[in-house]
Structure 1
Amino acid sequence: MSIWGRFGEFISRVTSGAISGVADVVEAVRTAFEGDPELRRKVAFSIAMIALSAKMAKADGIVTQDEIRAFHEIFSVPREQERNVARLYDLATADTAGFEAYAERMAGLCGSGERNCRMLEDILDGLFHIAKADGYLHEREVAFLHRVAEIFAIDERRFDGILARHAVRPADDPYAVLGVTRDTPFETVRRRYRELVAENHPDRLIARGVPEEFLAIANDRAAAINIAYEAIERGRVSA
């Protein structure tokens, strides 16, 4: 059965029972897929993106067609599973629990349970992709994303790098994209660049549980990293 088949089966089962919100759905993932960590990561990623994007839309106050398109760039949802995705989205929108509660549960569910696994950064990156789709990143969205990053234990340097990659700060700061400063020795810059390239290799992304559609976004991320490194290298050589 495909990941979406398992996702739909799981959502249908848990939402037809006595649950009070998405936090209960997340907790159910822990037990339902306890014997299959890989499937648990994939289902957890999907639930995190759907639930947190719903909460982010509520913070912004409006869902645009551009944001819907951006969501479908991350997920190619089979027609027969659209109802289950909508069910989870509506549950998150109506849930009185704040998004912090979701983010906390997601952080504890990530991978093998470590606080700052790379999948959390992928989730944050996907939320940025959706937030900026309408061509404008609202202050409330930035505050939302920053708070999610704090809960995910993503430090300021890495958060600033994601901000810079998505061009919500002066886009021509290659140092911010790589998460280094202008006085960082070039060997350290090169090492940091190689770390980021390795972290974003498609095989590693798939292993972290992201859907195949997300690789297109990851390619944009990799391109931004390469452009930033090349700009720094040119600047250091000509200096």
Structure 2
Amino acid sequence: MSIWGSLVGGMVGFSLGGPFGMLLGSLIGGKISRARSNTSGFTSFAQPQQIFALSLIVLSAKLSKADGHVSKEELIAVKDKLKIPENEIEQVGKIFNKAKEESAGYEPYAQQISQIYKNNPNVLEEVINILFYIAESDGNVSQAEIDMIQDISKIFG
């Protein structure tokens, strides 16, 4: 099963109900994706990993928008760091675009990642590294981007 299939459900849920709609949509999308995969009930990714991936996409989108402009370099950095398969670029792009326009803050998504990986600080550190990579990809790390990454670091503990 591809994790990206369940992200579509998360995107729909996100557009209808914000962070909590995203969780519900991700669950439903994951079940539909598993039903289509004919894997005899075995899945490659568990729900927490799906939530993590979707939350990381949303954080990346909100960080890219933090300085008021999403650059081409930032989009390339997101694609590079998240290792998005070519056949899923369009779906992930829709999630990214919806997230950067959504007025809800980034904090619920950082809290979701923190909750899932509270006992694995290496993953949380890698998220911060990914966000810095995205922020610096356009050659200029703005104060808004620094502030957002610092806030996320505080949420992570």
TM-score by length of 1: 0.52
1:149–1:26 Cα change, 3 Å: farther
What is the CA-CA distance between 1:141 and the residue it aligns to? Answer: 0.7
1:123–1:51 Cα change, 3 Å: same
Q: Which runs of 5+ in 1 are unaligned?
A: 154-239
Aligned match of 2:77: 70
Counterparts of 1:62 and 1:30 in 2: how far apart (Å)?
32
Indicate the percent of aligned positions where both proteins have the same amino acid: 25
Aligned match of 1:13: 9
The one of 74, 81, 91 equivalent to 2:88 is 81
Q: Which runs of 5+ in 2 are unaligned?
A: 32-41
What is the CA-CA distance between 1:130 and the residue it aligns to? Answer: 0.6
Q: Write the mapping of 1:1-239 to structure 2, written as runs, cut at 5 A.
A: 1=1, 5-7=2-4, 9-16=5-12, 19-26=16-23, 29=26, 39-108=46-115, 110-111=116-117, 114=118, 117-153=121-157
Q: CA RMSD in A?
A: 2.9
Counterparts of 1:133 and 1:23 in 2: how far apart (Å)?
31
What is the CA-CA distance between 1:29 and the residue it aligns to? Answer: 4.7
Matched pairs, number: 145
Aligned match of 1:231: none
TM-score by length of 2: 0.75
1:15–1:70 Cα change, 3 Å: closer
What is the CA-CA distance between 1:63 and the residue it aligns to? Answer: 1.3
1:23–1:116 Cα change, 3 Å: farther
8 A Cα contact 1:48 1:123, kept in partner: no
Q: Give the partner amino acid of 2:8.
A: S
Task: Give CA deviations for 1:23-62 in whole Å, capped at 9, x if unaligned.
Answer: 43146557858x9795335423422321001111221111
